[in-house]
Amino acid sequence: MPKLFHPYLLLFFFNTALAGEWSGFVSLESRYFYEDASSPLQTDANTSIAFLPEYRIEWDKGYQSLTFTPFVRLDSQDSERSHVDIRELVWIKAEKSWEMRVGISKVFWGVAESQHLVDIINQTDLVENFDREDKLGQPMLNVSLIKNWGIVDLFILPGFRERTFPGNSGRLRLPRVDSSQAVYESSSEEKHIDYAVRWSDTLGDWDIGLSHFYGTSRDPALSPGVDNAGKPVLIPRYDLINQTGVDIQATLESWLWKLEAIHRSGQGERYYAATAGLEYSFYGIFESNTDLGIVSEYLYDDRGETAPTPFQNDVLIGLRFALNDTQSSDALIGAIIDLDNDSMLYSVEASRRLGESWKLNLEIRTFQSVPVKDDYVSLDLAYYF
């Protein structure tokens, strides 16, 4: 028997697997679109299954750990939405004054509700949801230096991930994006090594983060072109950028004050963008256990109508409900209003636990005065283990 399959080695790996812990979920999602499709390839409904297990093991008295989180989505309609990704495969070594992460991982920066301008480490998994909350795993070396004046995070990011886009039969999509024709500013293309640094600290009631990123933009510029069959498509271009960002959140009794702002160069002209807002919470309304939060944000991009984002002069108004019951029921109802025209996005997100292991999620999106009408309602039933 080859040494690779020595029985003692197999026993070691078997015992290691048993020593770790498995968790995660499997879910069944059903979407119904109540507007006519813009293409005969699209349908009014689709169903998908998602599976996200997580394996975690710790040793060295908890100072070292390994986490493995794969993700699988199988969609009945859109072949591009059926995909597999490694969200995390990361080794962590922790000490009192520093921490190191090596592998594939996810990093989140930001405080705003409507969009996360400063969140730039991971690529958006756009086929999951157009709200940009879902991210692909990013290869990285991350060292965190823990000081009494804050935490400094240093990142080396090899291996760029292209953004995922819905396919011909997918809904909630732009005109078809042909990623096979993707263009890079760097001659190294997806092998370009990116770098990032962030300082963060809590100063009394204020949480502050300052960051800088240099590398391939996670937001591609989309230019018109044609595919091999001569049909019109959008071609993504990934430029090298410098982005400096700040995120601030102040917790002042029942108030939350939030700000995210960036300055970016390298992707056309230099520009600034910001999202600022507040949230006020009423606790135990009508002598119940329910908390009500009023959310308001302003979204600005100084490129104006030439900006590739729809959020260049918009306002978010929303209500957040937390019932504080045994089922952890909550809901967020809101609208984003474009101040330059009549377009609006209405959104409802709600969730409720069912028993100990099940969770039901509801999502409703309705668009007004936009070119593509892909209004939909989605139900997602997940089993957690």
Neighbours of 200 (CB within 10 A): 16
What are the pLDDT digits (tens) for 77-86? 999 999 999 9
**pLDDT tier at 371, thresholds 50, 70, 90:** confident
Distances (CA, A) of 285 to 216, 282, 290, 293, 322: 47, 6, 6, 10, 11
SS3 at position 63:
coil
Q: Are 317 and 341 in contact (CB under 8 A)?
A: no
The per-residue pLDDT for 1 is 40
Amino acid type, 257: W
Q: Which of 33, 357, 334, 354 is nearest to 171 (CA)?
A: 33
Question: What would the pLDDT profile of 49-89 be if each residue is shown by its tens digit?
Answer: 999 999 999 999 999 999 999 999 999 999 999 999 999 99
Question: Under the phi-then-psi rule, with left for phi > 0, alpha for psi from -120 to 50, and beta for the rest, what region is 253?
Answer: left
Q: 295-306, pLDDT tens digit by residue?
A: 999 999 999 888
pTM, two decimals, is 0.91
Is residue 365's pLDDT more than 50? yes
Residue 194 binned pLDDT confidence (cut-offs 50, 70, 90): very high
pLDDT tens digits, one per residue of 230-271:
899 999 999 999 999 999 999 999 999 999 999 999 998 999
Per the structure block, which two tokens stand in for 188? 């190294």
- At 103-126, the pLDDT tens digits run 999 999 999 999 999 999 999 999
Instruction: Output the average pLDDT for the chain.
Output: 93
Spatial distance between the Cα atoms of 338 and 344, rounded to a whole number of angstroms: 6
